[in-house]
Structure 1
Amino acid sequence: MSNPVTATNGAQFTGIAMVEDAGLQGMITLRGDLTSKALKTAVKAATGAKVPEQGKISVVESGAAAWMSPDELLLLVPYGEAVAKTAELAKALEGEHALAANVSDARSFFRIAGEGAREVLAKISPVDFSPEVFTPGSFRRSRTAQVAAAVWLQEDGSFRIVCFRSVGAYMFGLLSNAAHPRSAVGVY
């Protein structure tokens, strides 16, 4: 059996911010009625987090739940537990109109940290990353250049980005270019 690796295999770049491959991350797409008591209970059991409000991510030590759309969440769990957690969710939601799918190996996961992190992201995404608007727990699905991605701000001030694995190397290059030391604009 082969060992799983990320699309960018631990890549890092340091410029006005540090861009790095955030490693393997368990990710589960969960579709269903986000107001359902059964779904809320299943999410809490799988991640330890509550179903978040629109445009937010609920992060706890054991996992996270991110609002993707009115009927979709992205659940973050330890990579090695994603298969079992997906099965647990499917069982817990039997009889509900819901779908749980393990998408861990179909995604790339990045961390952007440092003083220029907001600027790096603002250059490539049409999102207001100002500190007054994009606060810890804020979560957005958007485009980074022409790549579909989701981004959120952690309590420690670092950002996380998720995109499709097939464009992971491109995303790393895009983020690295935006973080180049000579590319500082000074907006944030």
Structure 2
Amino acid sequence: MFDRDGSATLVRRGPSGLAGFNEAGAALTLEDGLGVGKVQFLRGTTAAYFSDLFGQAAPADRQSLALDMVEVSWLAPDEWLLTGEEAEVLAMIGRAAVIGDSCLATNLSHARKAFRLSGAGARDRLAAVTPLDVTDAAMAVGDVARAPLSDTGMFIARLPDSEGQPVFRIVVDQTMAAHAVRMLRGPALTPGVDS
């Protein structure tokens, strides 16, 4: 920033808020370096192209499929989110080019932030910021969804449990990542004041 006289002023910024948290039975950690991509086929062509690209049939709606180091998750009809090792996601996006104009494959790694939310309090944190039902009955391991997260949207995947506790992957637009962390953390507690 420059002052009126043209001299520079250093603007100190607070922490980005992306460090996550580990408190009150829930832990949120940034999955730094996770590759994120999207593959979309022309409407109604998934059956024709999905197995050529991924080597097997497409999973059902709201399901995911593990392929080596990449998770292929349903987003919408004929639309799939890729998450995993960045090099593997990029390689899969590159292979989609052979399909030609019937497929749009995009690297979203630079535009998305991914987090893992886990622990006994994970469901309570999610219930406070989204109308999505994340109970075991409604969202089993392997299920995925798009849902609101407070004032933004998220992609959410139920990952295998860790130490008997649920684990969720949450992917948001990178511009809303700090907001998502604040919302999942919950209201700030003032020291010395009962909540």
Equivalent residue, structure 2, for 1:90: 97
Tell which deviates more after alignment, 160-169 or 123-132: 123-132
Aligned-pair distance for 1:38? 2.7
Q: Distance in 1 between matches of 2:126 and 2:89?
A: 28
Aligned partner (choices 52, 56, 72) of residue 41 of structure 1: 52
Gaps of 5+ in 1: 1-6, 181-188
Shift of 1:71: 2.0
Secondary structure in 2 aligned to 1:124?
coil
State the number of aligned residues: 168
Partners of 1:20 and 1:61 lie apart in 2 by 23
Q: Distance in 1 between matches of 2:142 and 2:69?
A: 16
**Letter aligned with residue 62 of structure 1:** M
Percentage of matched positions with identical amino acids:
23
| RCO higher in structure (CA 8 A, sep ≥6) | 1
* TM-score, with structure 2 as normaliser: 0.77
1:149 offset after TM fit, Å? 0.5
Q: Which of 164, 167, 181 is 1:172 aligned to? A: 181
Instruction: Describe the SS at the equivalent of 1:154.
Output: strand
> Alignment partner of 1:36: what SS?
helix
Aligned partners of 2:68 and 2:62: how far apart in 1?
20
SS in 1 for 2:136: coil
Moved over 4 A (4+): 7-10
Alpha-carbon spacing, 1:88–1:8, altered in 2? closer, same or farther (3 Å): farther
Give distance in 1, aligned partners of 2:106 and 2:173: 15
Q: Does 1:120 find its partner at 2:150?
A: no
**More strand, by proportion:** 2
C-alpha distance 77-51 of structure 1, shift in aligned 2 (>3 A): farther
Over the aligned positions, Cα root-mean-square deviation in angstroms equals 2.3
Cα distance change on mapping 1:30 and 1:126 into 2, 3 Å: same
Segments of 5+ residues of structure 2 without an aligned counterpart are: 1-15, 190-195
The alignment status of 1:132 with 2:137, answered yes or no, reads: yes
Looking at secondary structure, tell me which structure has more helix per residue.
1
1:160 aligns to what?
Answer: 169
How many Å separate the matches in 1 of 2:65 and 2:17? 27
- 1:58 match: secondary structure: strand
- The 1:79–1:9 alpha-carbon spacing in structure 2 relative to 1, beyond 3 Å, is farther
Segment drifting more, 7-16 vs 74-83: 7-16
- Higher gyration radius (CA): 2
Is the partner of 1:68 in helix, strand or coil?
strand
Please tell me whether residue 65 in structure 1 is matched to residue 76 in structure 2: no
